Structure 1
Amino acid sequence: MDPKETKHVSAQAAESFTTRILTANGVPAENAALISKCLVQADLRGVDTHGITRIPSYMERIRQGVLDARARPVLRQITPVVAQVDGRNGFGFIGAHMGMGRAIEMAGEYGIGFVSVKHSNHVGMLAWVVQQAVEAGMMSLVFTNSSPALPVWGGRERLMGVSPLACGAPAGEEKAFILDMAPSVAARGKIYKAARRGETIPGDWALDGEGRPTVDPHRALEGVMLPMGGPKGSALAVMMDVFSGVLSGSAFAGHVTGPYDPSRPADVGHFLVAIKPDLFMGLEEFKERMDYLYRRVVGSEKMVGVDRIYYPGEIEQITHEERLKTGIPFIQAEIDSLNREADTVGVEHLVIS
């Protein structure tokens, strides 16, 4: 059987399978359902690096005792518009979902809500947190820090994380604005994906352990990722550490542990903001203005060779719609890896469409 052969899995089958794996590893059913939904949403949006293929690394961290499968985050109110969640070394999805939920509640009453999350873990694709706010009719900002992978500009050691930032705003008739991006040329998860699939990477993504550009993902993982825009991307990575790590009381300055390292707790931090969009005008006027922005962006004059201009997050939304119909593509090697996890805990294998 060709390990690179592509198979398709329905979103429902992927969620059901992931929930079985999680609950069998001690994750409470309600939390397992949320984690599964977030991971599958990443796969549906085409962010395959943050989907259910993350399950083996997550489960290894549980087995090594560095991620608490049963942890229940605790929320503490600081001021009427500020709260903090202690993730208690549980899944990042649970703490972030609780935090954004509280930020939305505060914004609904006071116009804005800030939540800091400490002692957390990998939070997956940030767009799902933004989507939580959009569905509640809120604008949002979402930051997280992560394990060291980038050098600061002018340096050569891994110090800053490829720490993404995301933001969103609801619209009326048009698509919501959803931005989710890392401060590197490419997300580090894409390196792991290429290594897993036996593929090469573009030569401007990373340097190897000796500081040379490489197309080999394994050598790239021994070196450093490259920041987008040089010093600008580097500065954004530092900014994520300030708001997510320093401010929250979590690890920072290169001390976050990566999701593929089962040696110690990650101690990731997140920073979440929800904003009521009708603070300065009526909600309908706000939505009309967002719709106008969308139409201006996608209808602007195209450069030579471009067939279509996309709004931030629009390609992912289109992919989501397509994959709901066709299923999520996985190569056989990824399916085999997931099914080994199923065998470890004695649950049913992933159902192929």
Structure 2
Amino acid sequence: MPEDAPKILVRHQDAEAFVGALLEATGVSRRNAGIVARALVQADLRGVESHGINRIPSYLARIQNGVLDPKAEPQLTSVTPVVAQVNGNNGFGFPAAHCAMEAAISMAQTFGIGMVTVKHSNHFGMSAWIVRQAIDAGMMSLVFTNSSPALPVWGGKSRLMGVSPIACGAPGGENSIPFILDMAPSVAARGKIHKALRRGEKIPLDWALDKHGRPIDDPEEALKGLMLPIGGPKGSALAIMMDVFSGVLSGSAFAGGVAGPYDMSKPGDVGHFIVAIKPDLFMSLDEFRQRMDVLYQRVVGSDKMEGVDRIYFPGEIEQLTEEKRLEEGIPFVQAEVDALNAEAERLGVAKIRQIVS
């Protein structure tokens, strides 16, 4: 299916209600279903379709195969006044991460900083939604996770490290947007290859290697091979860092032991590392926001390279995409809608509602 295939538009409210109904039909509590649905729809709104509601069929398949517990509830344990741990109990990663950030924010509001590790969790989608949870509470944040093996360590040729996103954020000022960084240590997130496969599209040749170590534009062959790290040894080291902070520290799987959302053989045992920080620890909040305004204006107002029309702050393109999709709807291709509706039919849930032009 070509990239310019006709798109089907869905309102974000309808997408959220649809996902919530699917999850509740599998035994997920209403509260947890809402957390998952909002996070997935946020990804679609921000243009990160690789981590949007099209992840649902793989999540439901993991429930069917008994490797993800839809009824699990995260358990929070305090370690010190500023440190806690969440046991995800092999449930969805979304409520576990939400619980962790909620606890980190609460500790930071009292003590200036809060740190929470999460163990025995699963995939939590786009990291930026957790960063936004902190920003909505007026907090800076760090959000790390590890993931299933897809990337070689530098100099190696076997999959060992995950394409584990590094995310962080800070509130903006009156004349700037929040700073939101959410990036993988690979040239592209693995979810983008799954999206290309789903849509029948090719991928750029610098994203991955096939199982023989050759550059490949076929997403199916790329998923059997290796993702390529950004910056060579630098991307490899960042992936190892995610394993140290998220897996080793938390007591979850690490060093290639994590199971991904498309693996039906065993529980994910994913680990997360979440920190919330009060931005006014060293100055007034007004001064912090003014300084963020200065940073934003200097970044976007920088002298431009030849051929560049506009410089964007990290997270700004996604914010502009969200504003557009909130108004116009979220675009999907027919194959994606068909896959979602097949799950609805199986579970006895109403099909996804489309915008009729």
Identify the TM-score tier after normalising by the shorter chain: over 0.9
Aligned to 1:35: 36
Find the residue that maps to 2:13 and give its secondary structure: helix
Find the residue that maps to 2:239 and give its secondary structure: helix
Percent same amino acid among aligned pairs?
68
Q: Counterparts of 1:315 and 1:101 in 2: how far apart (Å)?
A: 27
User: Can you give the 5+ residue segments of structure 1 that lack an aligned partner in the other structure?
Assistant: none
Q: Counterparts of 1:88 and 1:42 in 2: how far apart (Å)?
A: 25
Question: 2:16 touches 2:41 (CA, 8 Å); kept in 1?
Answer: yes
Residue 348 of structure 1 aligns with an amino acid whose one-letter code is A
Aligned to 2:130: 129
Indicate yes or no: 2:318 matched with 1:321: no
Q: Counterparts of 2:151 and 2:49 in 1: how far apart (Å)?
A: 21
Aligned to 1:21: 22
Deviations along 1:203-224, one digit per CA (max 9) or x if unpaired, are 0000000111101111101100
Aligned to 2:313: 311
Question: 2:151 touches 2:158 (CA, 8 Å); kept in 1?
Answer: yes
RMSD: 1.1
Are residues 2 and 227 of structure 1, via their aligned partners in 2, closer, same or farther at CA, if it must alter by over 3 Å? closer
Q: Counterparts of 2:180 and 2:229 in 1: how far apart (Å)?
A: 22
Question: 1:90 touches 1:120 (CA, 8 Å); kept in 2?
Answer: yes
Aligned to 2:257: 255
1:144-183 to structure 2, matched below 5 A, reads: 144-173=145-174, 174-183=176-185
Q: CA deviation at 1:6?
A: 1.2
Aligned to 1:74: 75
Indicate yes or no: 2:96 matched with 1:95: yes
Residue 328 of structure 1 aligns with an amino acid whose one-letter code is I
Q: CA deviation at 1:2?
A: 10
Q: Counterparts of 2:153 and 2:201 in 1: how far apart (Å)?
A: 28
Find the residue that maps to 1:23 and give its secondary structure: helix
Q: CA deviation at 1:5?
A: 2.9
Deviations along 1:316-352, one digit per CA (max 9) or x if unpaired, are 0000000001100000000000000000111100011
Q: Counterparts of 1:96 and 1:33 in 2: how far apart (Å)?
A: 14
Residue 294 of structure 1 aligns with an amino acid whose one-letter code is Y
Residue 156 of structure 1 aligns with an amino acid whose one-letter code is K
Deviations along 1:35-82, one digit per CA (max 9) or x if unpaired, are 100000000000000000000000000111110000001000000100
Q: Counterparts of 1:181 and 1:33 in 2: how far apart (Å)?
A: 25
Q: Counterparts of 2:48 and 2:205 in 1: how far apart (Å)?
A: 21
Indicate yes or no: 2:136 matched with 1:141: no
Deviations along 1:243-268, one digit per CA (max 9) or x if unpaired, are 00000000000010010011110000
Aligned to 1:351: 353
Q: Counterparts of 2:239 and 2:198 in 1: how far apart (Å)?
A: 26
Aligned to 2:86: 85
Q: Counterparts of 2:163 and 2:35 in 1: how far apart (Å)?
A: 24
Deviations along 1:119-145, one digit per CA (max 9) or x if unpaired, are 000010000000000010000000000
Question: 1:2 touches 1:332 (CA, 8 Å); kept in 2?
Answer: no
Deviations along 1:224-278, one digit per CA (max 9) or x if unpaired, are 0000000000000000000000000000000100100111100000000000000
Q: Counterparts of 1:259 and 1:74 in 2: how far apart (Å)?
A: 22
Question: 2:2 touches 2:200 (CA, 8 Å); kept in 1?
Answer: no
Aligned to 2:236: 234
Residue 298 of structure 1 aligns with an amino acid whose one-letter code is V
Deviates more, 1:47-56 or 1:3-12: 3-12
Aligned to 2:288: 286
Indicate yes or no: 2:213 matched with 1:211: yes
Q: Counterparts of 1:137 and 1:128 in 2: how far apart (Å)?
A: 14
User: Can you give the 5+ residue segments of structure 2 that lack an aligned partner in the other structure?
Assistant: none
Q: Counterparts of 2:50 and 2:334 in 1: how far apart (Å)?
A: 16
Which TM-score applies when normalising by structure 2?
Answer: 0.98
Question: 2:10 touches 2:330 (CA, 8 Å); kept in 1?
Answer: yes
Q: CA deviation at 1:171?
A: 1.4
Q: Counterparts of 2:122 and 2:76 in 1: how far apart (Å)?
A: 16
Q: Counterparts of 1:196 and 1:2 in 2: how far apart (Å)?
A: 11
Find the residue that maps to 1:218 and give its secondary structure: helix
Question: 2:50 touches 2:191 (CA, 8 Å); kept in 1?
Answer: yes
Q: Counterparts of 1:71 and 1:214 in 2: how far apart (Å)?
A: 39
What is the number of equivalent residue pairs in this alignment?
353
Q: Counterparts of 2:159 and 2:6 in 1: how far apart (Å)?
A: 35
Q: Counterparts of 1:253 and 1:187 in 2: how far apart (Å)?
A: 19
Find the residue that maps to 2:321 and give its secondary structure: helix
Question: 2:341 touches 2:351 (CA, 8 Å); kept in 1?
Answer: yes
Which TM-score applies when normalising by structure 1?
Answer: 0.99
Q: Counterparts of 1:128 and 1:142 in 2: how far apart (Å)?
A: 10
Residue 288 of structure 1 aligns with an amino acid whose one-letter code is Q
Residue 67 of structure 2 aligns with an amino acid whose one-letter code is V
Find the residue that maps to 2:297 and give its secondary structure: helix
